Structure 1
Amino acid sequence: MNKGPVIIKLGGEVVQGPHMAAIAADVAEMRAEGTPVVLVHGGGPQATDLQKRLGQTPKIVGGRRITDQDTLEVMKMTVAGKVNVDLCAALVAAGTKPVGLHGASACTVLATKRPAKVVVGGGPDPIDFGFVGDVIGVNDALIALLTADGYVPVLACLGSDAKGNLFNINADAVANQVAIRLDARALVLVTDVPGVLRDVSDPSSRIGKMTLEDGKRAIEEGVVTKGMIPKLEESFAAIAEGVRAVHIVGRLSRGDLARAVEEPGSVGTVLVA
């Protein structure tokens, strides 16, 4: 059996939501049983809220945030600040040992600026997303050092290059690259919906298992929209690079995280090649 870590990605809406205590308890139990766990998190809702309070207008294209200099400052304040601290606090309350990190923490997430590109939902022209990065490296030695000593790395979705330039990165993309480079035994994306749904207004329309072809068809037919589009695209790209399966789960009760890993498709949606 693969002995690599379990990578768990949490959206910002999850960190501030009602299921965080159950998730933290599951992480603490997995860690107590000897399973290395690495958390990666976003902070989209918190960033949007702060942008509006500061008089900024968030610009989202194809489910992705355009990041100018002012937006990057907001991402540092929310993602590497408030969200990371709140998540670590929830894990401490559950009895585990989190260590908050971001891209500039010894280049834990090494990144380069994303070139302008055409994206689904963004029209025919290439979009320049500004200070948005692509992951080109992960400080796996630092992560391994922490997990070997019983700590839970909690990684904010900011990247850095070797010169200290910072980039906002889609948290799913960070989690995917961490999973690839650490040879993870499982990658779990925790959202505020219970998986990929045929009807977004009906939780019972959950799709238990989805292949690459199923995913492409769901996007083309408009079954999958908004932020779920980049989530699926990034996930299938990770699978193409060697991740065995990606689990999209949400609205979790106690024990659901472990069940998603042990019984693929029983909770949320499992994505496979």
Structure 2
Amino acid sequence: MNSQQLFGQIRKKQSYLCIGLDTDLEKIPAHLRSLHDPVFEFNKQIIDATHKLCVAYKPNIAFYEALGPKGWESLQKTLEYIPDDIFTIADAKRGDIGNTSSLYAKAFFEQMDFDSVTVAPYMGEDSVKPFLKFKDKWVILLAHTSNPGASDFQLMESRVTGRKLYEEVILKSKEWGSTDQLMYVVGATQAEKVESIRALVPDHFFLVPGVGAQGGDLELVSKYGMNKQCGLLVNSARAIIYASSGTDFSRKAEEEARKVNDVMKQCLDQYL
């Protein structure tokens, strides 16, 4: 899926919502836990309830890896169940030297057929380039994240340029691939940063976590981050998928997704 196709889905659904499938066995409704594959059943019902309201799903790979082989099976079944017109993100935060990155890329792009994977840029160009060799696949590079520890390194200033480290990462990495290959993770909890980052990469898509349970402001993120192709995938996970712990969990998830979607429609009308 290229950027034009992704934008086409955004226009069609009037949504730039990405739903995080951070499926935790300890948090899913109790009535599902006795099933053969409770993780997949939970995901299946969430997808059934929300697929018309979002343009992307983002399984956090850690929740599946932690379950061993059965978790990988649940993940593969989930991926195959997601409709073909919805963008898929492997939130794996991989990043290693070239030959290892090549194998990570094959795992997520060839074996599992995700549309994209999140990648950590700390080891530089040769750790990222192997992911960029796959046609119609995306690298989503960690730029400015929303966690408290982000300030430990990302906000450090260069003595040479005066720029923050995350700004240096963005300016350097945008030379590695096109706007159909590279997205950036930009946290929603510091909405004012989104505007300055948009100035550095005006045409790239951003994956924006932190809206919902983490308290990010969707309207401000949209105001500061939207470009002519919308340019945003705003992720919400816990606020949607865990809206209820009862038998009505999928209906409640749909209701929460619809609330987010209603705001997104307004923002698209206002800022696009």
Measured against the shorter chain, the TM-score band is 0.3 to 0.5
TM-score normalised to the size of structure 2? Answer: 0.36
TM-score normalised to the size of structure 1? Answer: 0.36
Q: Greater helix percent: which structure? A: 2
Q: Greater strand percent: which structure? A: 1
